[in-house]
Structures are given as structure tokens and as C-alpha cells.
């Protein structure tokens, strides 16, 4: 019922997409942001996620494989591998283009996309390995940070696949809730894990943006909305996150566009363009921001 309402409301179809996308992107350990760390190059897992932001999918997979070899019990290496397969598929299908992220309905509406069955098989295998390792770690230590991250991300990545490629939004709602609950548990146990705030931040902002009756329905299911607190959570990740700082910056740029704060959106996008010059998404969106809005010029 709730998902059907979101889908049928033409003003808010983008909200479910951003919730899923935020949860499905990587949550990381509580260290200094990767882009500001001086000295030695980042370790393979960190480097892999940075390469994903720059659309170097083959290079990212090599880094994730190196992490798996060096840390065979860590589920995050397999989560990174799965994320690489998913983002490469998004890129092939045109989902990573900023026009699909910014404009209403472009992601969650329409026909089911034609997925690559081999990519889907590799994606599922990687997540199955991550789940197995995460459960083993949590049996030994229920507070295990890496295992909690992997559990959060496994649900989130699956959610992104069925929302953005298969267009099965109702089936994704349960995974969204599971991923959010795990993320909240992670924050409670490890409040300095700043990347974890990206999932809670986007969820709070999105739900807080909905009309009151829908917010009430979602609150019954455990989803709480607050736009101000949501942006504050995203700011934490954008400033201090390890793996997710660039993603949080993109989410804040999207929010700034929605809230008509064009100058702020431009600041976030310029920073992303400078840090990831091989990704054309940020530059294209900057060009769109610099063009006059036809709705205001007629």
C-alpha cells in the first residue's frame, strides 16, 4: 500500500529511488576521509570504492580481489565485489547518468530493464559469500563492525537491483527496512562510524519530505522522517566518512537542487568533478545547473 502510494504520487517518485540508492552504497569504517589521507596510498578495499566513483570497474574489481586474498574472513571484500558488478550494470544500462538521478520517476518507473544474466549470477554469488562470512563473524562477536556493514549492504545492494533494474518496488521495502535497522544498530554500537549515517540520513530526509498521511503510515512500519536531521546525518558522512563521503556529497547536491539551493548544489558537484575527473556525471549536472530553467523563462 505504501509503495503503491509513492509510485502513484507524481510529485515524489524520486524518493524511493534515493532511499534505495543510499542504503545500497558502501558504509565504511570510522577513519579519516580517503580523499584527505596523506602519505601512503589507500589499502585495496578503499581504493576499490574510489575507483567505482570514477567508473573504473575493472580496476575496482582487482582491488576487491586483493582485499579478499589478504583478508579472507572479511565479508566486505565480497560486498565490494558485488557493488562493482551492480554499478557496472547500472552504467551499461544508463542508470548512473545524472538525469536519471535528478529527474522525477526516471529510475523507479517504466519497464523492467534487460539485465545481463552473467552479471546477475556473479552479483548473487558475491553477496552469498558476504552473507556467509558476515553471519560467521557475528556468531563470534555480535558487535563486529565489518560484519554489520556487510549485512547492511547485502540487503541494500539487493534492494537497488530489484528497484532500479527489475522495478519491483514493493519487494524492496522489506530489504530497505532490514538495511536501515542494521545501520541503526551499527551507529548505536559504533557512533564514530560516520559512513553509516548516509543510510539513516537519506531515509530521514526522504520520509520527512512526504505528505503527513504517508509519513504516518511509514512511521507505523518503523520509518521515521525528519528533513533537518536527515541533512545533518548526510553532512557527517560528507565531511568525515571514509568510503561514502563522495556519495553523501552527491546526495546533498541532489537535495540542494530539490530545495532550490543551486549555489550549494554547484559547490558539491564541483568538488566531486575535481576528485573524480573520469566520471562525466558531475560535469553534465553542472552544465544543467548553469542552463536557465525553461519553467522560469516562459
pLDDT score at 29? 36
The span from the CA of 8 to the CA of 73, in Å, is 44
Which residue is listed with cell 556473479?
A: 122
pLDDT score at 111? 57
The model carries a pTM of: 0.77
Q: How many residues are listed for the chain in this entry?
A: 298
Q: How many domains does the chain have?
A: 1
> For 264, what's the count of Cα atoms within 13 Å in the CB-facing half-sphere?
14
Q: Does residue 71 carry a pLDDT above 50? A: yes
pLDDT tens across 253-294, in order? 888 888 889 999 999 999 999 999 998 888 888 888 887 665
Question: Quick one: cell of 274?
Answer: 575535481
pLDDT tens across 33-69, in order? 444 445 668 899 999 989 998 999 999 999 999 999 9
145 in Cβ contact with 193 (< 8 Å) = yes
Angle at which helix 197-208 crosses helix 245-258, to 10 degrees, equals 10
Instruction: State which of 9-13, 100-104, 155-159 shows the largest mean pLDDT.
Output: 155-159
What distance separates the 2 farthest-apart alpha carbons in the chain? 64
The arithmetic mean of pLDDT across residues 168-190, rounded, is 76
Query: Which has the closest alpha carbon to 153: 42, 247, 69?
Result: 247
105 in helix, strand or coil? coil
251 in Cβ contact with 64 (< 8 Å) = no
Domain that holds residue 144: 2-297
pLDDT score at 112? 62
pLDDT tens across 112-138, in order? 678 889 999 999 999 999 999 999 999
CATH of the domain at 251: 1.25.40.10
Number of H helices, E strands in the chain: 16, 0
Amino acid at each position: 500500500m505504501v509503495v503503491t502510494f509513492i509510485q502513484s504520487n507524481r510529485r515524489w517518485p524520486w524518493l524511493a529511488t534515493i532511499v534505495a540508492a543510499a542504503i545500497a552504497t558502501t558504509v565504511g569504517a570510522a577513519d579519516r576521509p580517503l580523499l584527505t589521507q596523506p602519505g601512503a596510498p589507500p589499502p585495496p578495499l578503499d581504493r576499490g570504492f574510489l575507483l567505482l566513483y570514477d567508473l573504473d570497474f575493472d580496476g575496482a574489481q582487482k582491488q576487491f580481489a586483493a582485499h579478499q586474498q589478504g583478508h579472507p574472513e572479511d565479508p566486505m571484500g565480497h560486498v565490494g565485489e558485488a557493488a562493482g558488478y551492480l554499478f557496472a550494470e547500472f552504467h551499461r544500462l544508463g542508470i548512473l547518468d545524472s538525469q536519471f538521478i535528478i529527474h522525477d520517476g526516471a529510475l523507479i518507473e517504466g519497464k523492467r530493464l534487460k539485465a545481463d544474466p552473467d552479471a546477475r549470477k556473479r552479483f548473487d554469488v558475491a553477496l552469498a559469500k558476504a552473507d556467509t562470512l558476515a553471519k560467521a563473524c557475528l556468531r563470534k562477536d555480535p558487535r563486529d563492525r565489518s560484519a554489520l556493514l556487510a549485512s547492511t549492504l547485502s540487503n541494500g545492494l539487493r534492494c537497488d537491483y530489484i528497484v532500479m533494474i527489475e522495478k519491483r518496488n514493493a519487494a524492496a521495502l522489506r530489504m530497505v527496512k532490514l538495511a536501515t535497522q542494521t545501520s541503526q544498530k551499527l551507529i548505536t554500537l559504533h557512533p564514530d562510524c560516520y559512513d553509516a549515517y548516509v543510510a539513516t540520513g537519506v531515509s530521514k530526509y526522504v520520509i520527512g519530505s512526504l505528505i503527513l498521511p504517508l509519513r504516518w503510515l511509514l512511521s507505523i512500519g518503523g520509518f521515521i522522517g525528519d528533513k533537518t536531521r536527515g541533512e545533518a546525518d548526510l553532512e557527517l558522512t560528507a565531511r568525515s566518512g571514509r568510503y561514502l563521503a563522495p556519495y553523501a556529497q552527491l546526495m546533498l547536491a541532489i537535495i540542494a537542487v530539490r530545495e532550490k539551493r543551486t549555489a550549494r548544489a554547484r559547490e558539491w558537484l564541483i568538488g566531486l568533478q575535481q576528485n573524480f575527473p573520469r566520471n562525466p556525471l558531475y560535469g553534465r549536472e553542472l552544465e544543467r545547473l548553469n542552463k536557465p530553467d525553461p519553467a522560469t523563462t516562459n
